Amino acid sequence: MGKWQLVKLNFGRSSVHFGELGIGMEESKERVRSDTLFSAWVSNYARLFGKKPVEELLAKFLQPNPPMRISSTFIYRECKNNTKNSTIFYLPRPLKFPTNYPHGGDLDSKKDDLAFFKTYKSLNYLPLDIWHRWYQGEGFTQEDAKELTDKTKGNAKGKLKEAGTFDYKEAFKNHKLPKVAIDRTTSATNFYHTEYVQFNWEQNGSGVKSLSGLYFLVYSEDANQHIEELEAALNLLGEQGIGGERSSGAGLFQAKWLDLKDASPLWENVVKPLDDKAYQCLISLFWDDDKSNLERLIEDKKDNLDNSQSSYEIQERGGWYSDGNIRRQMIRMFAEGSVFPIEPQGKLADITPSEFKAHKIYRSGIALSLPIKVQI
């Protein structure tokens, strides 16, 4: 087994703008996906070390067993309670029900089912301890159902609330700034707004302490391979900024690498393999153009063929190449939270436009997933 690490991105007072295909300049997501993180990271690797080293690095990522797999970024939030300071790490809710999730006759009435399902469905991200309990531990409980029903009615109290299950959006705020675009030919002006995300922070003496931000997981087969160079490239990315509106100072961060046990002792249990009946939940985007691989992921579960074994969402990924007005090829990828009966591997997608000759352009569909138990 290789080595897992967790990287926290502390943005301090720097806002971020993470636009996605189809939502326009005025809106921003609160996190950045694995393909965007990979591209920005490798681009800064090229700035630091040059063309030949980055080509050698990409050649290794084109192999069946890449040297490193990364997740998408997700929210973390520092939580202060009466006993100690702790960090809440949020993970995407898998697109299958957890074990012991009640259906129909297990509930007192259909009305109760709808009451707690409304809140359950709105929980796109779960705190690490709830994610672990629902999908790797004892599973869903009647107490959970009651608390979710209470939350629907507006008065939830219990373990879910204490864990921060309903507080995801408290980690950040959205705000819009006015902008003016001036046409270079006609000097005509166009007034618009751009949305930014600000993670929570507080003044700490003469500095700034990040109270929330983003994190991602790294899995490497060879922990020492390129690690110093990659850390340097990530530090440069933090100085340059990630996402859009970097010319306005957005996306600046400081990266902190942690062993899982230093981030939270629970992480070591979360990444630990389960039994051979375990499913896999994506925590990155995933792409593969091999039809036989996709058929196995979608249809197979050992000797039991059933098209309902997988649950997934598709995300379209496109955009513009930064060094010129060139549109990248659009591809469709499996989104985070998708569930498969076997471990997805993924690969780099060659999205080089036909008119671009300088070098190859890749989008990362290399998968990273966690083992889970689900309701069948």
Domain boundary among 144, 165, 186: 165
Quick check: is 79 in a domain?
A: no
- Phi/psi at 47 (5° precision): -65, -35
- Tell me what the pLDDT averaged over the chain comes to: 86
| 330 shares its domain with 189 | no
Looking at the fold, whether 283 and 265 belong to one and the same domain comes out as no
Tokens of 62: 């084109």
Residues 69, 189 within the same domain: yes
Q: Decide if 286 contacts 33 (C-beta within 8 A).
A: no
Average pLDDT over residues 68-78: 96
* Residue-level pLDDT at 113: 64
Residues 6+ apart with CB under 8 A from 204: none
Do 229 and 318 sit in the same domain of this protein?
Answer: no
CA 301 to CA 307: how far, in whole Å?
10
Task: Decide if 83 is inside a domain.
Answer: no
> Is residue 82 included in any domain, yes or no?
no
Strand order from edge to edge, sheet including 339-340: 339-340, 279-282, 369-372
Task: Specify if 80 maps to a domain.
Answer: no
In tens, the pLDDT along 339-372 reads: 999 999 999 998 887 776 677 888 999 999 999 9
Task: Supply the angle between the helices 51-61 and 34-49 in degrees, to the nearest 10.
Answer: 150
Both 30 and 53 in a single domain?
Answer: yes
Lowest-pLDDT range, 26-35, 132-141, 212-221, 272-281? 26-35
Average pLDDT over residues 327-350: 90
Distance CA 347, CA 364 (A): 7
Same domain, 176 and 40: yes
pLDDT exceeds 80 at position 310: yes
Residue 70 shares a structural domain with residue 47: yes
Report the alpha-carbon distance of residue 323 to residue 359 in Å, rounded.
Answer: 12
Whether 213 shows a pLDDT value over 90: the answer reads: yes
Per residue in 143-197, pLDDT (tens digit) is 999 999 999 888 888 999 999 999 999 999 988 877 777 877 887 777 767 889 9
- Partners of 191 in the β-ladder: 180
pLDDT of residue 1: 64
Query: What pLDDT sits at residue 225?
Result: 65
Do residues 70 and 173 share a domain? yes
93 Cβ contact partners less than 8 Å away, ≥ 6 residues apart:
123, 124, 125, 126, 131, 337
Q: CA torsion sign, 97 to 150 to 80 to 14?
A: positive
Note whether 264 and 278 are same-domain residues: no
Contact of 242 with 201, CB cutoff 8 Å:
no
**CA 92 centroid distance within chain:** 7
Token couple for 193: 């707004």
Task: For residue 85, tell me if it sits in a domain.
Answer: no
Tokens of 43: 């681009």
Same domain, 200 and 337: no
Q: What backbone torsions phi and psi does residue 165 show, to the nearest 5 degrees?
A: -60, -35
pLDDT, residue 221, reads 81
Cα separation, 198 vs 163, in Å, equals 23
pLDDT tier at 204, thresholds 50, 70, 90: confident
Q: Comparing 14-28, 162-176, 215-229, which segment has the lowest mean pLDDT?
A: 14-28
- 257: tokens are 């690498």
Q: What is the CATH number of the domain that holds 217?
A: 3.30.70
Short-list 35, 36, 121, CA closest to 368: 35
Q: Judge whether 370 and 283 are in contact, CB under 8 Å.
A: yes
What confidence tier does 299 reach under pLDDT thresholds 50, 70, 90? Answer: low
| Token pair of 300 as six digits | 């197979």
What is the 3-state composition of the chain as percent helix, strand, coil, each rounded to the nearest 5?
30, 30, 45
Shared domain for 264 and 177, answered yes or no, is: yes
Residue after which a domain boundary falls, among 165, 186, 215: 165
Amino acid at 210: S
Domain membership of residue 262 (yes or no) is yes
Q: Which amino acid appears at position 168 of this protein?
A: Y
> Which tokens is 31 given?
């996190």
- Least confident residue range of 62-66, 172-176, 244-248, 269-273: 244-248
CB 196 within 8 A of CB 174: yes
Residues 174 and 263 in one domain: yes
Residue with token string 């993180």: 37
Whether residue 86 lies inside any domain: the answer is: no
Of the three residues 165, 181, 216, the one that is the final residue of a domain is 165
Full domain range(s) for residue 22: 3-74+169-269
Stretch (H or E) spanning 174: strand 172-182
Is residue 135 within 8 A of residue 282, CB to CB? The reply is: no
Give how many domains the chain has, as a whole number: 3
Domain membership of residue 126 (yes or no) is yes
Residue 271 to residues 10, 92, 136, 146, 211: CA-CA distances in angstroms?
Answer: 23, 15, 10, 29, 25
Q: Is 91 exposed, middle or buried (0-12, 13-18, 19+ CB in 10 A)?
A: buried
Closest CA to 74 of 64, 88, 62: 88
